[in-house]
Structure 1
Amino acid sequence: MAPFSGTMLAGTPPVARTIALENADGAIVACGHAYFPHNRHSRFSRYAWIGLIAVAASQRGSGLGRVVNAMLLDAAARELGADHVYELVGATNIASRRMVESCGLRIAGDLVCGVATPAQEDRFTR
């Protein structure tokens, strides 16, 4: 769940929600996180970000990512009080795009986000 600190993942501060699903043996098989990344001065202050959706390799394709994502969408609205939510998904990450769209979100083609990393570094997501 890097790069977030333990206090952020626990929801103090800021207001946040982490969801983890376990299998019958108690091992985490899927997880994700939602929080408000923008400060109160931003016009996006009531926009919750949802992400870090991860599913154990042995469980991929089972729909657990969609379940966690849907649970986080619900939690962002009902528990955290978000007016809006957004997720950031790479253009080539087709599986994640399908998961997000299956939960009712749509791609906003007019919005762009990027992360700067050294050219020699491995990607930190698929």
Structure 2
Amino acid sequence: MAAEPDGEYTIRIQAFMAALGVVPFSGSLLAGTLGPATTVVVGDETGTVVATAHGYLAHNSHSAYHRYAWGGLVAVAQSQRGRGLGNYINARMIVSVVRDLHATHIYELVSASNLPSRRMVESCGLRRDPAVVCGVATLGDGARFTR
């Protein structure tokens, strides 16, 4: 896990995410210094990061959703894809937010057109809730946040 916001390991995690098209959060958020959070990482035998996922309690204590965790930032190295590592790292993140952060619920936001991510999330037991709607506003000519 990322432990220090500006530490070398956190910087490696951020670089890994960015290289795979996942816009990383700040080191402070990844390390959990701004609030309850977990960043899970799988490395290969040389210590190279090959998969990541992150979860945190996104809502403050005054919200009815304060025990709901947001999960995402799942990234898997190209060389490791097709082996179930995305499912594994996502499941580890879910376990961590429930066990370590005491979340009662978790949600992940996945584009309707992103079928691999939808399958990954569903394989971890999460289901689409048609009653919940989410949107993000960006500049029309701006780059996307994720693939």
TM category (shorter chain) comes to: over 0.9
Q: Any gaps of 5 or more consecutive residues in structure 1?
A: none
SS of 1:86's partner is: strand
Count matched residues. 126
Q: Any gaps of 5 or more consecutive residues in structure 2?
A: 1-13, 15-22
- 1:122 Cα shift? 2.3
- The answer as to 2:98 corresponding to 1:60 is no
What is the TM-score of this pair, normalised by structure 2?
Answer: 0.81
- The answer as to 2:57 corresponding to 1:36 is yes
Give CA deviations for 1:83-124 in whole Å, capped at 9, x if unaligned.
111111110000000000001110111211111111112222
Larger helix proportion of the pair: 2
Residue pair 2:24, 2:73 contacting (<8 A) in 1 also: no
- 1:38 Cα shift? 0.6
SS of 1:101's partner is: helix
- The answer as to 2:137 corresponding to 1:116 is yes
SS of 2:74's partner is: strand
Q: What residue in structure 2 maps to residue 102 of structure 1?
A: 123
4+ runs deviating over 3 angstroms: none
In the alignment, the residues of structure 2 paired with residue 11 and residue 18 of structure 1 have an alpha-carbon distance, to the nearest angstrom, of 8
Q: Which residue among 28, 33, 38 is the counterpart of 1:7? A: 28
- The answer as to 2:69 corresponding to 1:48 is yes
What is the TM-score of this pair, normalised by structure 1?
Answer: 0.93
The Cα RMSD (Å) is 1.2
Give CA deviations for 1:4-31 in whole Å, capped at 9, x if unaligned.
2212211122011000111122111110
